Amino acid sequence: LVTGVLAASDGATVGFPSESLVQSKALQRSIKERDETQRIFPDIRFSCSGSVTKWILVLEAGDGSMEYPQLQIWREEEGSGSYQRVGYTDINSPSSSITDTYSVVEYSLTTPLAFQEGDILGAHQPHKDDSDVVMQFQDRGLLVSYRYDGEDNPLETFVVDGAETDQTDYPLVGVETSPAGCSRGFLSLDNMDDLLLSTMFKLKQHPQEQRILSGISFTCSGSITKWIIVAQVRSSTTAVLYPDLQVWRCSALEDKENAECDRVGNSTISGAVQVEGHPNVYQYTPDPPLE
């Protein structure tokens, strides 16, 4: 559960994520590459001849500064299972352009990257300790990809025989082409946000677990007029239970062993309304507002 809040007094909160950050928190389910990895994605391909004019991808700031991931175009040699790299783009978008932990970055090409019908997507990711930015993948089980681990440099020839097979790593990559509509399996800018939200970041909560979050607090007196949450809706054949969002008042909180807290407000999140365009973000308006 990822939670934001609107308060009647603006600026009355500390530690609550903004609504935009709530919407992006689902990204934390993504797979962050740490080792040098070369991949190809035969199911993500071009359906006509043309050129790439823009890449759209999700990046995280890396720990290095000297290397960058590479998006690639590969062409199979007559059904042999051997592919040749026929084009590539070094994604040297600086980590300073990443405003949140994860950012959707549009990377326009000064010189469009040519492809032919049947060419496929590939990607090389340097080690996170060396790379200025890190590509993101979702564990979604949607397509087959092949990879070689420990590749310090991008490959120019990729032989499927001998490569590791994955069925979980969906690259968060979109593309704009000329002519338009030449891509299959890529994400679009319009649906990228929805896809990110559709796989949730989940804490492994034990049943009926109670938490207080001392780092999330209110800086003045006021009232909560709206909760904003990321959540999954599950069908159930048993009695339906709902999570509670609560306000607690604590004394001596800096002394964890002797701190005492009393619950002074509670919202049972029943009947929350989905935010249009964000399938896993919901708004709940407490009635009356929660002081």
Summarize pLDDT for 241-263 with one digit per residue, the tens.
778 889 988 887 666 667 788 89
Specify the pTM. Answer: 0.58
CA distance 289 to 172: 39
CA distance 164 to 58: 24
Provide the token pair at 47: 């359906």
Output b/e per residue, 86-97; b: 16+ Cβ within 10 A.
bbbbebebebee
Looking at residue 80, its pLDDT comes to 85
pLDDT in tens, 105-136: 888 899 999 999 999 999 998 887 778 788 88
More confident residue, 285 or 95: 285
Q: Is the pLDDT of residue 204 over 70?
A: no
CA distance 131 to 36: 10
146 Cβ neighbours under 8 A, 6+ residues apart: 39, 40, 42, 158, 160, 163, 164, 165, 166
Q: Is the pLDDT of residue 160 over 50?
A: yes
Q: Which of 73, 60, 68 is nearest to 175 (CA)?
A: 73
pLDDT in tens, 3-58: 444 445 455 544 444 444 434 444 444 555 667 889 999 988 999 999 999 998 88
More confident residue, 112 or 235: 112
Looking at residue 15, its pLDDT comes to 46
The mean pLDDT of the chain is 76
Looking at residue 59, its pLDDT comes to 82
| Helix (H) / strand (E) containing 195 | helix 189-198
